[in-house]
Amino acid sequence: MESVETSQKALIVDEDPGLLALLRFGLEQDGFTVVTVQDGREAVRTSYDSHPDVIILDVALEDADGWDVCRRLRSMSDVPIIVLSSSGDEHDVIRALSLGADEYLTKPRGLEELKARVRAVLRRAKISRMEAWRPIYDDGTLRIDLVNAAVTRHGEVIHLTPTESRLLTSLLSRRGEVVPHRELLINAWGPEYAEAVDYLSVYIRYLREKLEEDPSNPQYIRTRWGIGYYFAGDGSPGPDDMRG
């Protein structure tokens, strides 16, 4: 059993009391303090009061819009959110990620796998907090100051999710070089996601929509087809200058 720091706390939001009991048992075995709620509105209040380190949220809630609960939880803090859902529809996956969820899992899921996913998102969050290197980029239009977690375009503040920030940091740290898909995935999500290229393409699109004047003709985040992405920044051609 892989234990965790005693301070780590998990908030589980689900209407199924049997699943709540199972998840509580499994996570408490791994050293977590576990708080469970079956009410979407109560979930937001409990998160505010208890300051969890990770949230497991079933978006299928009768008393509240689970998607709105996810959005409100994300607006409160950067705590990792794992969405648990019986739907495997791609639109639901994209919706969850766009609302700031760090992970989307379909039911049913084995307890050991779920615990591994929890450890993975916590490990990524810890690496993100401990990362010492933070570049500053400023070309007069786009300013990226990851020291102070501030990104602006034409002076207007751009809000990035924790995953988007990790991706942008990975690209900026190798500015002008192609960063392979695998490296970006490991840096942003962990080694368990080294082959999950679909995750990467979704988040690259989100970054382009926030950073680029014309996301369909990106000047900052460019593609090396079949290999990876690179941050060009100054508009000069990069390796095999492919902008898609």
Q: Tell me the whole-structure pTM to 2 decimals.
A: 0.55
Q: What are the tens digits of pLDDT across the range 21-40?
A: 999 999 999 899 999 999 88
Tens digit of pLDDT at every position of the chain (244 positions): 444 444 589 999 998 899 999 999 999 998 999 999 998 888 988 998 888 999 999 998 887 888 999 988 988 777 899 999 888 888 899 999 888 899 999 988 888 988 999 998 888 877 665 554 446 788 899 999 876 778 999 999 999 988 898 899 888 877 878 888 988 998 888 888 888 888 899 999 999 999 999 999 999 999 988 889 999 865 444 444 444 4
**H or E element in which residue 200 lies:** helix 197-211
Q: Name the one residue in this structure whose structure tokens are 């490990």.
A: 123
Contact 91, 104 (CB under 8 A): no
| Cβ–Cβ < 8 Å for 190, 200 | no
Q: Between the CA atoms of 232, 238, 240 and 244, what dihedral angle is there, to the nearest 10 degrees? A: 20
Question: Sheet of 228-231: strands edge to edge?
Answer: 179-180, 228-231, 221-224
